[in-house]
Structure 1
């Protein structure tokens, strides 16, 4: 397990083992690479980030990952693999499951929620991106990206 502080000073515990943090994940993050490019989205306030969000009532975290990716990017994903979990300790502590998967379909004119749609960046473009969300700047994100690359579609 890795422990570090995020850019906002919150203590983060990151693990690559399932259910190792003692807290159920109800938030999701989808980190996937397709044809050599990362799937990201432009959040209107936070900036460029991987798609994700919260599971709705009665929804599994896998269903949430698929729904959030579709709503934020117009991309339908399948073959989900949970690659990590992390807990952020703050005023409202939460646990997030990190998934990767395969791209099944790309809707060129999606009905979007909270974002401006899919953005596809190479690793170099992502590393140089000046508009990244604070979520993308944590110590663990590089390791999570490395794990996701092992499953590139």
Structure 2
């Protein structure tokens, strides 16, 4: 698949590519799109609403390390066996590149120390589609395409 170009819900130009990064910008943001036993791992951000875990890599941290750390911090779920699904660039006032991962659950902390979120939420596809509290990050062509890819490759 080549580069898919579209506008996000805020009107920003987005370029999404699966596989190798052909976008010409290093990813320093991460998103973890994980489905296990028919349910998606999500979290409720205190401001934005329901979304997949993710964030920014810290200085000296690889994007894989950032994906693992952000997932623990936002959901209490430790992940392993990361697979990079895609990367996308959002062109806006502060253009950035985000790497999208899927993974397997290694461990779930039932009483995690959380950062900016309310912890893990596990929703079926129908529940996710009908969720009225979705973050703007969760809406639009790009997220639909990423979810479809993860579902097709779910083991």
TM over 0.5: yes
CA distance in 1, matches of 2:64, 2:138: 21
Instruction: Please state how far the C-alpha of 1:39 moved relative to its aligned partner.
Output: 0.1
> Which TM-score applies when normalising by structure 1?
0.98
1:20-59 pair list within 5 angstroms:
20-59=22-61
* Matching residue of 1:146: 148
Q: Is the aligned partner of 1:79 residue 2:45? A: no
Measure the CA separation in 1 of the matches of 2:54 and 2:77: 12
For residues 44-84 of structure 1, what are the alpha-carbon distances to aligned partners after superposition, in whole Å with 9 as ceiling and x for unaligned?
Answer: 00000000000000000000000000000000000000000
Question: Would you say the 8 A contact 1:100–1:151 is kept in 2?
Answer: no
- d(CA) in 1 for partners of 2:36, 2:153: 10
2:20 and 2:101 mapped to 1: Cα distance?
12
3-state SS in 2 of match to 1:127: helix
TM-score by length of 2: 0.96
With 10-19 and 96-105 compared, the bigger mean Cα shift is at 10-19
Structure-to-structure mapping, 1:68-147, within 5 angstroms: 68-147=70-149
Residues 76-98 of structure 1 show CA distances to partners (whole Å, capped at 9, x for unaligned) of 00000000000000000000000
- Contact 2:78 2:108 (8 Å CA) reproduced: yes
Measured in 2, the distance between the counterparts of 1:102 and 1:57 equals 25
Deviation for aligned residue 1:104? 0.5
Say whether the 8 Å CA contact 2:43–2:75 is kept in structure 1: yes
| Distance across 2 between alignment mates of 1:11 and 1:42 | 25
State the 1:152 CA deviation: 3.0
User: What is the number of residues matched between the two proteins?
Assistant: 153
